[in-house]
Amino acid sequence: MKLAIDIVQSLLLPKLEKDAIFDINQANIAFWETFTTAFLDFEKDAKPVYAAIYSLGLKDAEKIISKLDTVYISFIKELAENHVLGISSEAIDYLITSKNSTFEKEVRFFTDLQNAIKKVERKRIKTELPNAFDKLSFQLSDDAIALAITKKEREALKEKMNAWDEQLVISEEAPVYSVSTKKEPKVFSLSWIKYAAAACIVLTAGIMYFKFNTDNNVVQPGDTNVVTAPVKKETITPEIPSEALAEVTTVTKTATVVKSGLGFAPTSSKIKIVENNQAARKISIEKAIEKYRQMLEQEFPENKLGYGSRAKAIQDTITSLQKELVLLNEKEKQYIFDGKALVLYVSVTAKENAIVLYDETYYFKRDADFFKLTVAKQPQLYKKITDLDLLEVLNNLCDE
């Protein structure tokens, strides 16, 4: 589903950002997954898609909804093109299985387009083949040959060409073929074709090499057969002023595990708590996004927004920062606990942290709230304890 989500984000996010009260924090990973899944069935049932847009709390949600038809067509077109190019995706498989008519139509279009390109190219090659004989019979000057190959190779090739000329006269035993594209057919032997083809390949390669080097201002080979390496032109990348982003602050503490019935355990079981404070990082990202948006508005009028490499570079930078901000917010909803260390991602440092082991289950106290901890290597979502009896037991253990 990643391919489909990336396409939807690239199409919809720029439109959402134009809403006056759009909050990027609302458009988290869960939102994009839900929206993209519903968007695949937009033609059959648009209500889940509309509900997802309204859930963002936009100032003018109807304006975004009015553009969804166009966004959907672009979305399906990109998936269809990827399918024709051989790229697989869960979203593409779903569209095929559900027999989405719009998707099938776009697939036929891109398939026909691909076949048409191949057909035109084959036709061009067939058209040029009858003229191949005429192209082989031209005479190269010494200057042209000198620019294509070295002096030794030039002399050797001239000798071979003279031998081929003689072959045209004496090689009468070989089968004879004719090209009847003109009123007076040209007759030539199979041996001549063999040698002429070889000469064509050698000379064509040499001329292409000469043209390439001429276009790139490269010194041609001399008697020493030494060729100057081509000078590559560096691609000019638009310079976008970089914004200094704050780093995530990490603080490591050690907490003594509170155990049921024993208060603080005699063995002094301890667990390391690693707290990653992301507040400064998030603020700096939000400021950077706002600065880049102002830069776009000042440098590019709205009707020209998105044109030019510089505008695209600025927009790509904004999108990258937005994705990082979403990722940081997602991290704050999760923790990692392997039984020895608890890793947290926060924006506000808690006044009190404690770990309780009750009934063979770990619980994490953060200020006044308790959360059940699951031992796992992968990030886990917080599960807040709401059972009043259990909360009373856990609070009593912490107060001992």
273-309 tens-digit pLDDT: 999 999 999 999 999 999 888 888 887 765 454 457 7
Give the model's pLDDT for residue 360.
87
Share above pLDDT 90 across residues of the chain, in percent, rounded to a whole number:
23
Q: Tell me: do 263 and 149 sit in the same domain.
A: no
Choose from 174-178, 206-210, 313-317 the range with maximum mean pLDDT.
313-317
- 267 and 394 within one domain: yes
Q: Nearest-CA neighbor of 280 among 248, 253, 252?
A: 248
Domain-located, residue 363: yes
> CA-CA distance, 341 to 270, in Å (whole number)?
9
Asked which of 93, 124, 155 is the last residue of a domain, the reply is 124
H or E, element range at 53: helix 47-54
The pLDDT value recorded for residue 181 is 46
Q: Which of 189, 215, 241 is the last residue of a domain?
A: 215
pLDDT at 267: 39
Tell me, yes or no, whether 98 and 149 share the same domain.
no
* 312-330 pLDDT tens trace: 888 888 888 999 888 899 8
Which pTM value belongs to this model?
A: 0.43
Q: Domain check: are 111 and 163 in the same one?
A: no
Is residue 151 located within the same domain as residue 264? Answer: no
What is the per-residue pLDDT across 4-41, written as a single tens digit (0 to 9) for each?
999 999 999 999 988 888 888 888 888 999 999 999 99
How many domains would you assign to the chain? 3
pLDDT at 303: 47
* 108 and 198 together in one domain: no
pLDDT digits (tens, 9 = 90+) for 59-117: 888 899 999 999 999 999 999 888 888 888 888 989 998 889 888 888 888 777 767 76
Q: Could you tell me if residue 232 is inside a domain?
A: no
pLDDT value for 186: 47
Does 47 share its domain with 157? no
pLDDT digits (tens, 9 = 90+) for 340-385: 899 999 998 888 888 999 988 999 999 889 999 999 888 899 999 9
pLDDT of residue 264: 43
Structure tokens given for 391: 């909360």
* Cβ neighbours around 87 below 10 Å, total: 11
Kindly report which listed range (148-162, 252-266, 278-292, 296-310) carries the lowest average pLDDT score.
148-162
- Model confidence at 200: pLDDT above 90: no
pLDDT score for 283: 93
Go through 88-126 and write b for each residue having 16 or more CB atoms within 10 A of its CB, e for each that does not.
Answer: ebebbebbeeeebebbeebbeebeeeeeeeeeeeeeeee
In the predicted structure, residue 265 carries a pLDDT above the cut 50: no
Q: Are 119 and 157 contained in the same domain?
A: no
| 31 vs 25: CA distance, rounded Å | 10
Mean pLDDT calculated for residue range 132-138: 56
234 falls within a domain: no
- Do both 16 and 77 map to the same domain? yes
Residue 239 in domain: no
Rounded mean pLDDT of the chain?
Answer: 76
- Is 221 within the bounds of a domain? no
Q: Provide the token pair at 345.
A: 């991602």
Residue that terminates a domain, selected from 196, 215, 234: 215
164 with 276, same domain: the answer is no
Domain enclosing residue 165, as ranges: 137-215
The residue whose two tokens read 């057909």 is 119
Q: What is the mean pLDDT of residues 147-152?
A: 54
Q: Is there a single domain that holds both residue 175 and residue 99?
A: no
Beta-carbon neighbour count of residue 48 at 10 Å? 14
334 found inside a domain = yes
Confidence class of residue 189 from pLDDT cuts 50, 70 and 90? Answer: very low
Mean pLDDT of 143-161: 58
Residue 129 lies in a domain: no
Residues 324-339 have a mean pLDDT of: 90
Indicate whether 163 pLDDT > 90: no
- Residues 388 and 261 placed together within one structural domain of the fold: yes
How far from 240 is each of 10, 64, 94, 272, 319, CA to CA, in Å? 20, 30, 40, 42, 14
**Long-range own/partner contacts, residues 299-306 (CB < 8 A, 24 or more apart):** 306/14
Tokens 């697939």 found at: 107
The verdict on residue 381 lying in a domain is: yes
